[in-house]
């Protein structure tokens, strides 16, 4: 368990709420507008104003592990493209196979986040969020505000510059001219995604325009704005596979048409389709299965150190985490310890194929909340922007880290 700092020396509900609301106002003004989340008929605290203190050596190890893990993912992407027959194991809709296997000469994903469990037993990556990672506004904005409140070092300070450098790389790789417009989109009703899109757009150095996903016009000759302006470059904070289900008001399968425009290079999207390919949890099982076949001796050592054994069947595991291949936000996960179900989510993704990952217990972590000190499980997200580790995203919640797990800022100590 990590030590943490509090804005209040002793807990009293009214005093705590008053100081928390003052912080909430500051982060709201800077674009972090979901310090509370309304779910299950009530407001839930998402922002904790505690400040976790991460040992500098631990932060350094996470950064090293993040780079090593990302390099393994990059190698795995290259191997999948070389061995396209394995795509049937990834759980991807058949209609996407050709699109996903189109070789990408640049990085497989410009915006990625890996989730780690750090305990006395080691540091292990449990999944990669390569297609539509979030947690960026928390890591860049809320993190900075809280570190200022405590007058402590903000280890995530470089993330803003990293985002700008990533956009510069995208401009070069996509050959975006100064006269071109990069459109930014997401589901307009989703507050978190919308604010994340606007934050990323604010750091883009050339012409940029927000267009709600619902307003995008898909026609046979291309993708357009409601005014008829062609959309050639599009940043999407919307899962690529979801487009398969999109239909027009008259029932036309415009999502399939949208994807065909990407395939035919009339529409260029960020993250690229390769990001969805690597989003599949089956990638983790492939890394285990192909460990000796695809990877060098040094890479096998990295896999042994930072990856958990993961399989397409649970046969040899007594304790495991079952994960749907394309599940998100903790949906459809089942945790089994010594043959007994510890926790599970049965609301979503029950019909998907799944992988079985060796169970690795998450450490306890105490943080302050509206209701007093809360002991939850700590998950450490590590952002990778343009192939470089770029800051951490810490959450405390249940055994399954869902969208109601609390974001907790951090600082470092010697």
* 170-213 per-position pLDDT tens digit: 999 999 999 999 999 999 999 999 999 999 999 999 999 999 99
Report which DSSP code applies to 230.
B
16, pLDDT greater than 80: yes
Mean pLDDT confidence for 87-100 = 94
pLDDT for the residue 401: 87
Within a domain: residue 313? Answer: no
397, pLDDT greater than 90: yes
349, pLDDT greater than 80: no
Give the confidence band of 331 by pLDDT, cuts at 50, 70, 90. confident
d(CA 18, CA 32): 18
> Which residue from 59, 163, 123 is spatially nearest to 411, judged by alpha carbons?
59
Q: 161, 168 in Cβ contact below 8 A? A: no
Within a domain: residue 63? Answer: yes
pLDDT for the residue 327: 86
* 66-78 per-position pLDDT tens digit: 999 999 999 999 9
Return the higher-pLDDT residue of 227 and 38: 227
Within a domain: residue 194? Answer: yes
Q: What are the tokens at 260?
A: 């065909």
Within a domain: residue 225? Answer: yes
Within a domain: residue 49? Answer: yes
d(CA 8, CA 30): 23
- The reply to whether the predicted model has a pTM over 0.75 is yes
Q: 274, 108 in Cβ contact below 8 A? A: yes
Within a domain: residue 235? Answer: yes
User: 182: phi > 0 → left, psi -120 to 50 → alpha, else beta; which?
Assistant: beta
* 312-328 per-position pLDDT tens digit: 999 889 999 999 999 88
Percentage of the chain surpassing pLDDT 70? 100
404, pLDDT greater than 90: no
| Residue 361, Cβ density class (10 Å: 0-12 exposed, 13-18 middle, ≥19 buried) | middle
Looking from the CA of 170 toward its CB, the CA atoms found within 13 Å total 29
Within a domain: residue 266? Answer: yes
Return the higher-pLDDT residue of 1 and 139: 139
Q: 109, 131 in Cβ contact below 8 A? A: yes
* 277-316 per-position pLDDT tens digit: 999 999 999 999 999 999 999 999 999 999 999 999 998 8
Report which DSSP code applies to 242.
G
Give the confidence band of 352 by pLDDT, cuts at 50, 70, 90. confident
Q: Which domain holds residue 376?
A: 4-280+363-413
**Whole-number mean pLDDT of the chain?**
95
Within a domain: residue 191? Answer: yes
Mean pLDDT confidence for 115-136 = 97
Helices 282-289 and 56-82: angle between axes, nearest 10 degrees = 80
Q: Tell me how many domains the chain contains.
A: 1
Q: 335, 343 in Cβ contact below 8 A? A: yes
């Amino acid at each position: 368990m990590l030590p943490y700092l509090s804005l209040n020396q002793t807990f009293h509900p009214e005093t705590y709420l008053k100081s928390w609301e003052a912080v909430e106002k500051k982060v709201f003004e800077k674009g972090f507008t979901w310090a509370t989340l309304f779910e299950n008929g009530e407001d839930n605290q998402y922002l904790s104003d505690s400040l976790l203190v991460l040992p500098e050596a631990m932060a350094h190890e996470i950064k090293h592990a993040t780079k090593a893990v990302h390099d393994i993912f990059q190698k795995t992407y290259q191997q999948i493209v070389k061995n396209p027959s394995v795509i049937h194991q990834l759980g991807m809709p058949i209609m996407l196979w050709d699109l996903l296997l189109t070789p990408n000469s640049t990085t497989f994903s410009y915006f990625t986040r890996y989730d780690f469990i750090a305990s006395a037993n080691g540091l292990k990556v449990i999944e990669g969020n390569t297609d539509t990672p979030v947690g960026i506004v928390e890591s860049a904005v809320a993190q900075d505000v809280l570190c200022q409140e405590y007058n402590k070092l903000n280890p995530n300070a470089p993330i803003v510059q990293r985002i700008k450098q990533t956009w510069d790389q995208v401009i070069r790789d996509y050959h975006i001219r100064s006269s071109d417009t990069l459109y930014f989109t997401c589901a307009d009703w989703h507050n978190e995604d919308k604010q994340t899109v606007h934050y990323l757009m604010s750091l883009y150095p050339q012409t940029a325009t927000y267009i709600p996903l619902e307003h995008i016009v898909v026609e046979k000759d291309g993708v357009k704005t409601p005014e008829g302006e062609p959309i050639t470059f599009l940043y999407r904070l919307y899962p690529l596979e979801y487009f398969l289900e999109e239909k027009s008001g008259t029932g036309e399968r415009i999502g399939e048409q949208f994807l065909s425009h990407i395939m035919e290079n009339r529409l260029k999207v960020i993250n690229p389709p390769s990001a969805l390919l690597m989003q599949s949890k089956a990638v983790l099982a492939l890394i285990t299965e192909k460990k000796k076949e695809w990877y060098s001796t040094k890479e096998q050592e990295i896999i042994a150190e930072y990856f958990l054994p993961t399989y397409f069947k649970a046969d040899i595991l007594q304790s495991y985490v079952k994960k749907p291949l394309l599940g998100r936000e903790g949906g459809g996960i089942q945790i089994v310890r010594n043959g007994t179900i510890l926790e599970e989510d049965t609301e979503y993704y029950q019909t998907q194929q799944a992988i079985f990952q060796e169970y690795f217990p998450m450490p306890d972590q105490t943080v302050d909340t509206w209701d007093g000190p809360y002991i939850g499980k700590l998950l450490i997200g590590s952002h990778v922007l343009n192939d470089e580790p770029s800051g951490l995203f810490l959450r405390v919640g249940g055994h399954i880290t869902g969208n109601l797990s609390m974001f907790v800022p951090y600082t470092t100590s010697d």
